[in-house]
Structures are given as C-alpha cells and as structure tokens.
C-alpha cells in the first residue's frame, strides 16, 4: 500500500486512509458506512443493508422486493403495478382507483363504492345503491 494508505489484508481492495477494510469482492466503503456484500448497493450509515436489486432504503423504511415501489414506514408493501396505498387503505389492483378504508376494490372504470353498497348499471352509468 502507498504512503497514507492503511495496510490491507491479502485479497482485499486497497483502502485509502480513513476507509474501512472491506472483505474480498466487496465495494470500498468510506468511513462511517456499513460494509456491504458483493452486488449490494452502498448504504450510508444508519441505512439498512438492502439485498441485490432492491432500492436503497432509508432508516425506518421497509425493505421492498425487486420491482416493488419503495414503501414508507407504516405503508403496506404493494406489488408491481399497484398504487402505493397508505396505511389502513385496501390494496387496489392495477388500473383501479385508490379506495379508502372500508371501501371495496373497484374494477377499472367504476366509481368507488362505499362498504355495504352495491354497483348497479343504470342507463350506461355505474351508480352505488
């Protein structure tokens, strides 16, 4: 290692001064950053280590699987192509309106009907009754 560089163990990347020694196949992590495994995004201190193909999640945010929207804390994990539903809201399928709690999941093009009502076709207009 050149002058001003920490001595790194065999098979480890040459780490500049003030940088933590990372194991083989791991990205060079700056000081105050968690050591991330190969193929994982470099996560800043206080951030959870995310698996490969997952978005970098800030502290207090749930780790979402690949192809899922980044869900804030207290929000349900939504599948790909589904709207991000706030806590206490039903998960709506793709192309449907965001339904408030206690509302049925409505198909595309229909109005949001409150719980306990049913949909009815009346002169080509969908109404809740």
Flag whether 19 is in a domain.
yes
What pLDDT is attached to residue 101? 52
Exposure string over 42-77, b if 16+ CB within 10 A, otherwise e: bbeeebbbbeeebbbbeeebebbeeebbbbeeebbb
Flag whether 126 is in a domain.
no
Q: Which helix (H) or strand (E) holds 121?
A: strand 119-122
Name the nearest CA neighbour of 53 among 43, 64, 37.
64
Range of the domain at 81: 1-98
- How many separate domains does the chain show? 1
Euclidean distance between CA atoms 95 and 7, whole angstroms: 56
Flag whether 120 is in a domain.
no
pTM higher than the cut 0.75: no
pLDDT tens by residue, 25-63 = 555 555 555 454 454 544 544 554 454 444 444 444 444
């Amino acid at each position: 290692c050149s002058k001003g560089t920490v001595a790194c163990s065999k098979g480890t990347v040459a780490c500049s001064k003030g940088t933590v020694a990372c194991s083989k196949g791991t990205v060079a992590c700056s000081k105050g950053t968690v050591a991330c495994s190969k193929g994982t995004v470099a996560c800043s201190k206080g951030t959870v280590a995310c698996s490969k193909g997952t978005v970098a999640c800030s502290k207090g945010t749930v780790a979402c699987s690949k192809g899922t929207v980044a869900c804030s804390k207290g929000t349900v994990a939504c599948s790909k192509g589904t709207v991000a539903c706030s806590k206490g809201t039903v998960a709506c399928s793709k192309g449907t309106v965001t339904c408030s709690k206690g509302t049925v999941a409505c198909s595309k093009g229909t109005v949001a009907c409150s719980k306990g009502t049913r949909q009815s076709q009346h002169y080509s207009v969908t109404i809740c009754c």
